[in-house]
Amino acid sequence: MDGNSFRDRVDARIGSELDRRLVDRLVGTGGRARRVARVASYLMATAVYAALLCLLVAGGALLLLGDNWVQRALGVLPLLPMVALLLPRRSDEVLHEVGGEAAPTFTALLAEVGQALGTQPPTYVAVSEDINAFAGRRGLRERRLVVGAPLWAALDWPGRLALLGHELGHFSNRDVVHGRYVWWAGVTVSTWIDLLTPHGLISTEGRTPVFATITTAPLRLPLVGYISVMWKVHAAASRHDELRADTAAAALAGTPGVVEMLESILLSDLIDVAANRAAIDPRRPDLELEIRTRIEGVSEAARRALPASGEESSVDRTHPSTIDRLRLQESLPPAPPTITMDDDRVARIEAELRPMTAAALKRTADGYRHVW
């Protein structure tokens, strides 16, 4: 039996059980629970930053105050991780920006959503080709919101409002700040591990010598264990954050909107198939219309059967299973929407977003057709 796959199955089983217990606690407290995992991940990340600061101070002291070239050379070593961290990271992601001037009605809607959730609206909004959406920060001031065009096409407006509420809920709950703080600590430890891993330094036919591996192990293995624990604690905190963001979305778009959003996540394979078939169809049908038609064709009976067929569904380890997310929303008292959309506003927003969503969906179709 493969060790990694067995470990992954154990981690998944433990995570599922913890998620079920967390949902039970949230149901019992009306959506409120202690955030022990977030505090623990903050402390572990802070310890990494403290160690990094000590290394930088020690390296700088040796480099500036060293008595000879050996001491100065040793002073450079603690500075290497910082150099590695500052190197630019290339991203292949293609985003289609939604500018405020090109989409004033949609920008006003985001401001209204942010005000309802007690947070500032995003400063950068874009559409991607993925069946996903995310909120994040870049630099000191930029607050990013990226919405996947296929997922947006699959949702009706209650679900779209829930999606916007969920992502901006991460800003209002300060989940983005927490995630970024811990993520950079993880990148720092990963950089240390890479510098302490003798890949190809003195190797024969791509194999690292046993001597080099043993020599670096006392420094490398504790770091490997530390980052493994830190990521597990951070994942637990992030899963809690996702449930809280769903609750924020329900307060904004109502429980039916959140249920629609979560059911669409369970139907992501169907969205993928609909987009694929439309992309390779020689008649070149409208991708957005094909996705929406396919989703609308799912019967109520099929939707009620989704939880039973998607028990382990989730986006990644930082998300609880979609089934647990649905169970929480359907166990809490139903929430009415606080923002409603009239036909005129919907038409204006759809017209504003059409150039960006069309460009993103074209790229999605090109991916299915392997045209680049």
Structure-token pair, residue 28 = 């019992």
Q: What is the pLDDT of residues 245-258, one digit of tens each?
A: 998 999 899 999 99
How far CA 194 is from CA of 258, 336, 358, 362, in Å, comes to 42, 51, 41, 39
Sheet bearing 124-128, strands edge to edge: 96-97, 124-128, 142-148, 133-138
- Return the closest-CA partner of residue 95 out of 360, 347, 362, 364: 360
- Helices 343-369 and 268-280 cross at an angle (nearest 10°) of 70
Residue-number span of the structural domain to which 267 is assigned:
3-369
d(CA 312, CA 322): 8
Please report the pLDDT score of residue 369 as a whole number.
Answer: 74
d(CA 333, CA 301): 23
Read off the pTM: 0.83
Please report the pLDDT score of residue 324 as a whole number.
Answer: 84
Q: What is the pLDDT of residues 175-220, one digit of tens each?
A: 888 888 999 899 889 888 887 777 644 444 555 566 667 777 788 8
Pairing mode, if any, of strands 142-148 and 124-128?
parallel
Q: Where are the alpha helices (DSSP H) in 120-156?
A: 149-154
Domain count of the chain?
1
Please report the pLDDT score of residue 203 as a whole number.
Answer: 46
Please report the pLDDT score of residue 315 as a whole number.
Answer: 53
Positions of the chain with pLDDT lower than 70, given as ranges: 1-22, 24-34, 78, 80-92, 199-212, 304, 306-316, 371-372
- Helices 3-28 and 322-331 cross at an angle (nearest 10°) of 10
Please report the pLDDT score of residue 306 as a whole number.
Answer: 67
